[in-house]
Amino acid sequence: QVRLVESGGGVVQPGTSLRLSCAASGFTFSNYDIHWVRQAPGKGLEWVALISYDGNIKHYVDSVKGRFTVSRDNSKNTLYLQMNSLRPEDTGVYYCAKRGEWEKLEIDSWGQGTLVTVSS
Amino acid sequence: QSVLTQAPSASGTPGQRVTISCSGSDSNIGSDAVNWFQQRPGMAPKLLIYSNTQRPSGVPDRFSGSRSGTSASLAITGLQSEDEATYYCAAWDDRLNGGVFGGGTKLTVL
């Protein structure tokens, strides 16, 4: 079955960097676009980024453009989110999530999430 | 303020039918398919409806989706206690060139 396991979260100070990873298994990773979606404590879901199956096309929410970079290594079945210049408002659980067969926001599998806390 | 608008809460009694609405614009719901997710406390979201009306395998047919113009709805019939969760709509926004979620509707089964 599809499995997505995020790692790399932690407590960091504002202005610093963090890299999240997402290890995928149970499906042909190189065939699917993958999202990052985050959720601030007690708040709703916020879409963060989408990377195409081959890594050539990337989309970001405006609030992270220029600070976050999504990438993937299909040889390692792994997705990354490099987060620079972190702000307190970036605090939350970060999910990697697999796009389905049809729609861009058809997210048919989710990881368990990794918590990022940005605080001084 | 979310791009897609949902009422923050809804409620119903067991066996009842409830509807959750999602309002958007021409650049998202009006031009792209709506997807619905269920999230129970402490859990990752789960896909309930995709392509406006389609249910993934394993999702009970008590759940149904519809879209009209720039609005969409999720209907739950035969409400059960296990349906108590927060429900989110989501779509791609062609103007923002990114994904957008509704703010979520917390459903309480009384």
- Pairing label, strands A107-110, A3-7: unpaired
What's at A63, amino acid-wise? Answer: S
Is the pLDDT at A22 greater than 90? The verdict is yes
Which chain A residues are closer than 8 Å to B91 by Cβ?
Answer: 105
Q: Kindly state the average pLDDT of the residues A13-29.
A: 98
Band (B1; pLDDT cuts 50, 70, 90): confident
Judge contact between B100 and B2, C-beta under 8 A: yes
In whole numbers, what is the pLDDT of chain A averaged over residues?
97
Top residue of B1, B101, B105, B106 to mutate, by most chain A CBs within 10 Å, is B101
Q: Rounded to whole angstroms, what are the CA distances from B96 to A46, B82, B90? A: 14, 35, 14
Top residue of A51, A106, A110, A112 to mutate, by most chain B CBs within 10 Å, is A106
Band (A87; pLDDT cuts 50, 70, 90): very high
Judge contact between B51 and A108, C-beta under 8 A: no
Q: Rounded to whole angstroms, what are the CA distances from A4 to A1, A33, A89, B17, B26? A: 10, 13, 25, 34, 33
Q: What are phi and psi of A58, to 5 degrees?
A: -135, 140
Which chain A residues are closer than 8 Å to B33 by Cβ?
Answer: 102-103, 105-106
Q: Kindly state the average pLDDT of the residues B81-96.
A: 97
pLDDT in tens, B24-71: 999 999 999 999 999 999 999 999 999 999 999 999 999 999 999 999
Q: Rounded to whole angstroms, what are the CA distances from A1 to A4, A25, A64, B109? A: 10, 8, 32, 31
Place of tokens 């940005």: A118
Give the contacts of A97 (CB within 8 A, at least 6 positions apart): A4, A34, A35, A36, A37, A107, A109, A110, A111
C-alpha span between B102 and B89 (Å, rounded): 5
Closest to A28 measured CA to CA, from A54, A60, A59: A54
pLDDT in tens, A32-76: 999 999 999 999 999 999 999 999 999 999 999 999 999 999 999
Band (A10; pLDDT cuts 50, 70, 90): very high
Which chain A residues are closer than 8 Å to B47 by Cβ?
Answer: 100, 106-108
C-alpha span between B84 and B107 (Å, rounded): 5
User: How far does A98 lie from chain B, in Å, by closest CA?
Assistant: 11
Is the pLDDT at A16 greater than 90? The verdict is yes
Percent of chain A with pLDDT over 70: 100
pLDDT at A113 (0 to 100): 98
